[in-house]
Amino acid sequence: MISTPFFTLAIFASVHGFAINKRFDNGDFLTGNTDPNVASACTYWANSIGSTDTCADLESYYGITATQLTFWNPSLSITNCALKEGWSYCVSAPAISTTPSFTSTMSTTSSTLLPTTTATSASDITTSASSPSPTQSGLSSSCDAFYYVKMGDSCRAIVDSYGNFKLNQFYSWNPAVKSDCFGLQPDYYVCIGVTGSTTVAS
């Protein structure tokens, strides 16, 4: 006959072992709802999120950082990261440069400005009468600051990188990306500032 303490310990070890060996339902395709601004070039998904799953679980299991997880899934926050049961979360996407860049043009010349981690001053941004190429259709005619979209960028990440404009403003300046950001295309310029505003890299 198994003694009560030993039996209790055996049950605990079994349950604990099950938790350690847990595997997410993952793959190349999502099966649940996602963040509307999830990385457009996501290559791998964690699916069937349970009610007790945490961001730390995903980071540990897939060997990613909190910064990567929240960058690919902008609805998540590093300081208050909470997964939604049944949702799918991106856990792998092409590497993204952590240094945002924007291009400001004049009618005769163009230059690409690469801000560092220090915010760019307003004097570094030049009002422009023309746009770089290529751009997506419907770009605001008053746009005078531009960002070159790279593979894996999201609308939320672009807005967060440039300080003083909101997501709805970004959508209004760039109607082709649509209000869910699914229209955002890599290798195109998007508007990140219009005449009378100041765009600063954060």
* 115 has a pLDDT exceeding 80: no
In a domain, 46, yes or no: yes
10 or 41: which leads in pLDDT: 41
Under the banding of pLDDT at 50, 70 and 90, the label for residue 183 is: confident
Give the CA count within 13 Å in the CB-facing half-sphere of 146. Answer: 29
Percent of the chain with pLDDT over 90: 4
* 113 has a pLDDT exceeding 80: no
DSSP string, 164-185: S--HHHHHHH-GGG-TTSTT--
In a domain, 37, yes or no: yes
Under the banding of pLDDT at 50, 70 and 90, the label for residue 21 is: very low
Q: How many domains does the chain have?
A: 2
pLDDT of residue 159: 82
Place of tokens 């690919």: 72
Under the banding of pLDDT at 50, 70 and 90, the label for residue 173 is: very high
Give me the CATH number covering residue 127: 3.10.350.10
Contact 152, 107 (CB under 8 A): no
Instruction: Quote the CA–CA distance of 17 and 21 in Å, as a whole number.
Output: 6
Instruction: Quote the CA–CA distance of 193 and 57 in Å, as a whole number.
Output: 38
Instruction: Quote the CA–CA distance of 148 and 162 in Å, as a whole number.
Output: 13
In a domain, 190, yes or no: yes
* E-strand stretches of the chain: 25-27, 44-47, 89-92, 102-105, 110-113, 143-148, 189-194
- In a shared domain, residues 80 and 133: no
Average pLDDT over residues 120-144: 67
Average pLDDT over residues 182-190: 86
Expressed as residue numbers, the domain containing 168 is: 102-194
List pLDDT tens digits, range 96-107.
443 444 454 443
- In a shared domain, residues 68 and 125: no
**Residue finishing a domain among 59, 92, 125:** 92
- In a shared domain, residues 120 and 182: yes
36 or 117: which leads in pLDDT: 36
In a domain, 138, yes or no: yes
pLDDT of residue 116: 30
N-to-C CA span, the chain: 67
**Residue finishing a domain among 72, 92, 112:** 92
Give the CA count within 13 Å in the CB-facing half-sphere of 66. Answer: 11
Instruction: Quote the CA–CA distance of 37 and 89 in Å, as a whole number.
Output: 11
